Amino acid sequence: MGLLRKFFSNCGKPQGRMGRVVVAMMNRGHAGTAAWGFSHLDLQGNEEVLDCGCGGGANIAVFLRMVDEGHVTGLDYSTVSVAKSREVNRAAIDAGRCEIVQGNVRELPFDDARFDVVTAFETVYFWPEIARCFTEIHRVLKAGGVFMITNETSGKTGAHEKWQKLVDGLSVYTGEELEALLTGAGFARVEIDEDLKADRLNVRAYKA
């Protein structure tokens, strides 16, 4: 495997020294797309939030500012990502406002109907058994809760094809493909927002 391919394939589950570099880069490089994703949420400030595939914890830090009377949980299956996310959000963890958990979206270690909001920024590309993952997210959401997916590719411009060749285990979905999977997982309503000029996608799925 070439060095470039090895580097980008580390994005799915950052590991080792290279993984630490990848996580730090993602915290900075994904900020613009994440901000666009956050603009689709209308929060009251007291929500219980879960960020799946939380990476280096940059988005958790944003959520902590948005829900200053709520609680934010981050979940990732990479030990490197969990360590970085805990480092970035140490003050909030110590204050009891945040928790970072190592785990897998296929078997979420949370009670039913716990969260008001669940998010997945730049991560569903790497989820095996994605239908099962969506069913698990539906389970841990409260009635009326929202699951938001934000991707830096719409799956419609063709720009993602080079990344699929370069990054092992990368699956790119269109909004319509995600909608079908989410509806199959039990979500009552799905909203899709595409920005084809910037080649990005936001999907919100609501639990009845």
pLDDT band at 167 (very low <50, low <70, confident <90, very high): confident
Q: Which residues contact 115 (CB under 8 A, 6 or more apart)?
A: 48, 49, 50, 73, 140, 141, 142, 145
Sign for the CA dihedral angle at 68, 70, 73, 74 comes to negative
* Structural domain count of the chain: 1
Do residues 205 and 182 make contact, with C-beta atoms less than 8 angstroms apart? Answer: yes
Amino acid sitting at position 61: A
In order, the DSSP letters of 185-205 are TT-SEEEEEEETTTTEEEEEE
d(CA 81, CA 26): 10
The mean pLDDT value of the chain amounts to 88
Predicted confidence (pLDDT) at residue 114 exceeds the cutoff of 80: yes
The enclosing domain of 54 has a CATH number of 3.40.50.150
Return the pLDDT at 54. Answer: 94
The per-residue pLDDT for range 185-195, each reduced to its tens digit, is 999 999 999 99
- Collapsing DSSP to helix, strand or coil, 12 comes out as coil
Predicted confidence (pLDDT) at residue 115 exceeds the cutoff of 70: yes
Q: CA dihedral defined by 85, 90, 95, 98, rounded to 10 degrees? A: 0
The per-residue pLDDT for range 41-77, each reduced to its tens digit, is 999 999 999 999 999 999 999 999 999 999 999 999 9
In the chain, the percentage of residues whose pLDDT exceeds 70 is 82
Predicted confidence (pLDDT) at residue 98 exceeds the cutoff of 70: yes
Given its phi and psi angles, is residue 148 left (phi above 0), alpha (psi -120 to 50 degrees) or beta?
beta
What separation, in Å, do the N-terminal and C-terminal C-alpha atoms of the chain show? 46
Predicted confidence (pLDDT) at residue 207 exceeds the cutoff of 50: yes
Q: Is the pTM of this model over 0.85?
A: yes
Give residue 78's domain range: 3-206
Q: Which residues contact 8 (CB under 8 A, 6 or more apart)?
A: 163, 166, 167
